Amino acid sequence: MNVLIVGCGWVGTYVASRLLSKGYKLWGTCRTPEKAAKLKEMGLRSYVIDFDRDAAINDLPKTTFDTIIISVPITRKDAIETVSSRFKRLTLFLKELSFRQVLYFGSIGIYPKVDGLITEDTFAAEELDEKLWLGESRLRTVCPDINVFRLGGLFGQERIFAKYFAGKVCEIGFQTANFVHVEDVCRIISITMEREVRGATYNVVCPEHPLKKDVIAVSAAKYGYGLPSSFTDSDQTAKIVSSNLLVAELGYSFVYRSPLQF
> Which residues have a Cβ under 8 Å from the Cβ of 81 and sit 6 or more positions away?
none
* DSSP code for 5: E
pLDDT at 62: 85
Nearest 5°: the CA angle 245, 150, 86 is 150
* pLDDT, tens digit only, all 262 positions of the chain: 999 999 999 999 999 999 999 999 999 999 999 999 999 999 999 999 999 999 998 888 888 999 999 999 999 999 999 999 999 999 999 999 999 999 999 999 999 999 999 999 999 999 999 999 999 999 999 999 999 999 999 999 999 999 999 999 999 999 999 999 999 999 999 999 999 999 999 999 999 999 999 999 999 999 999 999 999 999 999 999 999 999 999 999 999 999 999 9
* Angstrom distance (rounded) from CA 135 to CA 73: 9
189 contacts 151 by C-beta, under 8 angstroms: no
Q: Which parts of 56-129 fold into alpha helices (H)?
A: 80-95
* pLDDT, tens only, 135-169: 999 999 999 999 999 999 999 999 999 999 999 99
Q: Phi/psi of residue 88, each to 5°? A: -65, -45
Angle (deg, nearest 10), helices 80-95 and 130-142 = 20
pLDDT at 58: 80
Residue 18: closest CA among 7, 33, 30, 5:
5
pLDDT at 223: 97
261 contacts 208 by C-beta, under 8 angstroms: no
pLDDT at 258: 98
209 contacts 178 by C-beta, under 8 angstroms: yes
pLDDT at 93: 96
pLDDT at 61: 82
* DSSP code for 117: E
* Angstrom distance (rounded) from CA 28 to CA 229: 42
Task: Confirm whether pTM is higher than 0.85.
Answer: yes
